[in-house]
Amino acid sequence: MTKIDIISGFLGAGKTTFIKKLLQEAIKGEQVVLIENEFGQIGIDGGFLKDSGIEIREMNSGCICCSLVGDFGKSLEEVLTKYKPERVIIEPSGVGKLSDVMNAVRDVAKNLDVKLNSAVTIVDATKCKMYMKNFGEFFNNQIENAGTIVMSRTDVADSRKVLADVDLLREHNKDASIVTTPIDQLTGAQLLELIEKPDTMMEELLAQVKEEHAHHHHDHDGHCSCGCEDHDHEDHDHEEHEHHHHHDHDDECGCEDHDHEHHHHDHEEHEHHHHHDHDDACGCEDHDHEHHHDHDDECSCGCHDHEHHHHHADEVFSSWGLETIDAVNKDQLTAILEELAYGNEYGDILRAKGMLPGEKEGEWYYFDMVPEQYEIRTGAPDYTGKVCVIGANLKEDELKKAFGRNE
């Protein structure tokens, strides 16, 4: 099956720079065909691409957003039939509608063994607001249909402007991964993984919390002798007490490891903060929020089909996320995590996870936090600074201030 990647963006946004990085660092061994849909003459980068052994199909007949979707589809089928490539990269005209190109690819996929692998839009951070205002539908269409948005020139744009741009982009696309780290600080492999596999950190974190929440309600050490059927009750053979997750373990931190989005980081340092001050082990994990039941061993209610104060996770938890490019120092991050883990200034926090750029160029901090326990690691840059927090009664304004988004 041939993978088709669409790299869109207005003229001068940095599409070719992005494509070069993929070709040189991530898909060098693949048989790739690049399709350019240009106004007028072939782009100035044709020489580089031909030297790299990449076949170029020049379609200089005009703008894809006009009546050329049919012609484009015919040209694409011709390329696929002739070259049988492993991957096709399409670089549409800078003023074309991304949705038109995507629809053309889907039409071709009905007849040939191909799939739309990714849709990427490159946005110049210095011109985002202006383009959104001046070009309206054409610019916004590229934003709305992208699976990944790569912001270029974030290294020269004012950080407040970049963050304001991120907020504007989110108004048109709440789900896309938005790359704010300069791509010269990222590897081609990182970029390829990002465009092919969505960032699901928040979803995975929520799933973990919900699973553990369910575990709390159903993992009974005591015995129910009520004779009832089909009931859910929370049995707590430990008395009504808070679990501070104080384990006398010297080996491993119970914090979650990095998921797929982080496996490419070489972590140089680990800081584990575990506070161990009770001897009786809690059989559960890191929650102190739902231990409010005082039936210790047996339920003798004689009831049928009942629940003992069972709350669904969706009713209890909420999530909060933040994207940022602001650098943080380690002391600052440690203080925030201390409060998240032990205090209630930000609400009742069950999980926090994220990655943030450090003050030293090229060094990033990765952190995991569960109640009364957290970990900070250092690693290579990721695609953007990101924080995910899950808990109850979250104080979002305070969280924003803590992580520098209080403007």
Instruction: Kindly list the strands in the beta sheet with 373-379, ordered across the sheet, starting from the edge strand earlier in the chain.
Output: 270-274, 373-379, 364-370, 348-357, 385-392, 318-324
Q: Are residues 7 and 135 in the same domain?
A: yes
Q: How many domains does the chain have?
A: 2
Whether 131 is in a domain gets the answer yes
Whether 344 is in a domain gets the answer yes
CB 98 within 8 A of CB 8: yes
Whether 184 is in a domain gets the answer yes
Q: Are residues 257 and 132 in the same domain?
A: no
**Could you report the per-residue pLDDT of 148-159, keeping only the tens digit for each?**
999 999 999 999
Listing DSSP states for 169-234 in one string gives HHHH-SSSEEE-S-GGGS-HHHHHHHHHS---HHHHHHHHHHHHHHHHHH--SS---S---S-EE-
Whether 239 is in a domain gets the answer no
**Could you report the per-residue pLDDT of 190-236, keeping only the tens digit for each?**
999 999 987 888 888 888 888 877 765 544 444 443 333 343 433 33
Q: Are residues 263 and 193 in the same domain?
A: no
Q: Which residue has the tokens 């859910």?
A: 232
Domain range enclosing 321: 201-222+247-278+298-407
Q: What is the CATH number of the domain that holds 169?
A: 3.40.50.300
Q: Are residues 194 and 213 in the same domain?
A: no
**Could you report the per-residue pLDDT of 324-362, keeping only the tens digit for each?**
999 999 999 999 999 999 999 999 999 999 999 999 989
Whether 293 is in a domain gets the answer no
Which pLDDT score, from 0 to 100, does residue 333 have?
97
Q: Are residues 218 and 175 in the same domain?
A: no
Q: Are residues 49 and 158 in the same domain?
A: yes
CB 85 within 8 A of CB 77: no
Whether 93 is in a domain gets the answer yes
Q: Which residue has the higher pLDDT, 12 or 373?
A: 373
Closest CA to 163 of 174, 172, 151, 175: 151
Whether 230 is in a domain gets the answer no
Q: What is the CATH number of the domain that holds 402?
A: 3.30.1220.10
CB 377 within 8 A of CB 294: no
pLDDT at 271 over 60: no
Q: Are residues 165 and 213 in the same domain?
A: no
**Average pLDDT score, the chain:** 75
Whether 71 is in a domain gets the answer yes
**The amino acid at 178:** I
Q: Are residues 23 and 148 in the same domain?
A: yes
Q: Are residues 134 and 213 in the same domain?
A: no
Strand ranges for 251-339 from DSSP E: 270-274, 307-308, 318-324
Q: Are residues 205 and 182 in the same domain?
A: no
Q: Are residues 114 and 183 in the same domain?
A: yes
Q: Are residues 217 and 254 in the same domain?
A: yes
- Among the ranges given (276-280, 291-295, 369-373), the one the predictor scored with the smallest mean pLDDT: 291-295
